[in-house]
Every structure is written in structure tokens, then in C-alpha cells.
Amino acid sequence: MSRTVYVNGEYLPEEEATVSIFDRGFLMADGVYEVTSVLGGKLIDFPGHAARLERSLNELEMAVPMSTEELLEVHRELVARNGIDEGLVYLQITRGNPGDRDFAFPPADTKPTVVLFTQSKPGLAANPVAQVGIKVISIPDIRWGRRDIKTVQLLYPSMAKMAAKKAHVDDAWFVEDGFVTEGTSNNVYIVKGGKIVTRDLSNDILHGITRAAVVRFAREAQMEVEERPFTIEEAQGADEAFFTSASAFVLPVVEIDGKAVGTGTPGPVAARLRELYLEESLKAAV
């Protein structure tokens, strides 16, 4: 059965959904996005995603086309119409269709393009990968300097994912000036002597919604968290490593550039944080 998607105020079968060839998201990657997880038919961390969306739009001087309440209504409607129990809701907003291609921003009254769709992901919470961990490689970070804005400029992360696939591993970590910035679509962490280390917030990394929640839950559980850069060598010598994202929650990393991290198996800190995140986030789900 066809999915129902949302395009500019209309709920449509996915086969009937279209966007103009002049849309600046298509021509210029002039757009932002958010991905919200769904567990038990409810949205996880929705307020955080909505707040980051508004920040991204403001940073790019784009109009905010809908209120948080209206966005929540659309998310819930799509989840209901598509019968999503576990999965994702993808939202993309672009600067719209100015009628022709031009590098200059279109007139301020150009209507933004708003698109949402769902993806069903049964077993999202009980992901077996959490029990075995993933392997990563490191690659140079050559992305633009505003990684804190969640734009649709995802070509290099996509290329990095393919580089990992060609190396027969699961993901890649970006390295800039000798220090790890983040994963291709996630924030990254190491654990040494019981201390959790993750890069501090700046324009260099995405301000992850899951990151914020996990750091908060860790501190509430009396775990020590240090926010600073770390190197690949430090990560390889850590007791544990893991990453966080909206679609994966908390997943352990057991190998970096061919070298096992710790025992080469998922460690207790990552396991406990995944458990905490799922428990607490489900309580607050909308």
C-alpha cells in the first residue's frame, strides 16, 4: 500500500507528490531537515527537533512556515495514516520555488516548500546491532564550516558512508586538525576510566538532539561527562566508544581504523545509556 506523504499543505499518495524542478532545495541544496523517531506510535524528542529546525531556518534567513503546534499535528497525522509503530518521520523545508534558477535568494514572500514522509522501521528500539557494535574508519572532514545548521547538503557524508562500505565497515568518523568532529550522521563519544568524552558544541558539529538528552541523562545518573575534542588515537585506546543519533539512539563502536576498542565488544556504559535514553524518552514521547 502506498504511503501518504505531506507536500505544501496536502496529504497525498507518494506517487502523486511532486516538487518543482526550480525548487532551491533541488538546485542549490538550499534547505534544512529533521528526522524524528517514532516508538510505540509516539514521537521521540519532538520539542528538541522543532527547536533545532527553527534555529536552522533562522541561521539561513529562511521563513518559518508553520508553528510548532502545526508541525506536531502533521507529524501525528502522518504517523496515524501510515500506521507507524516504530519508524521515522522525515521533514524538509526549502527556500521554495522562485520560478527560475538564480544564485540570489528569491523575494522574501516566496513560499517555502514543506515536505514530510514516514519510514516504517520495525525493531528500531530492539536493534540487534546494539548487542555487537559497529566498526568505523576515519576520513578527513572537508565539509563546510556551519555543520551546526542541519542542511540538506549531505553529499560528503554520503560519500563517507560509501567509503566505509567499500572498506567493509559500518561508518566513518570525520577528522579535522587532528581531532574527531563527528560521524557521518551522528555525534561520537569515547569512555576512558569511567569518564565519557564527547566534542564540545560549536559550529564544527551538529548540535544533536539525542546528544543533548544522552548527556543530560548521563549526568543525572552521576556519570562524569567531559566535553572536549579527542583524537583517533585516543579513541582507539579508550575503554569504549559509541555514537548517538535520532534514528539509532545509542550504538557502541567496537573498532576504529582496524583496531579494536577496549575488548572489541560493546561496553557497559553505552549499554546503560541506551537503556536510559529509551526509558526516559518514551516517558516524554508525544
| Residue numbers annotated as active site | 150
Q: For residues 230 and 260, is the Cβ–Cβ distance under 8 A?
A: no
Closest Cα partner for 33 from 116, 157, 147, 151? 151
The cell numbers describing 2, all together, are 502506498
* Residue 215 CA: distances (Å) to CA of 20, 189, 244, 276, 281: 41, 10, 10, 11, 13
In contact, 40 and 122? CB cutoff 8 Å: no
Distances (CA, A) of 185 to 35, 49, 107, 170, 176: 11, 15, 32, 12, 16
Measured distance CA(219)–CA(112) in Å, rounded: 39
Q: Which of 210, 78, 65, 60 is nearest to 150 (CA)?
A: 60
* Secondary structure E strands in the chain: 4-7, 10-13, 31-39, 42-43, 87-94, 113-120, 134-140, 171-176, 179-183, 187-192, 195-198, 225-227, 240-245, 249-256, 259-260
Distance CA 53, CA 116 (A): 13
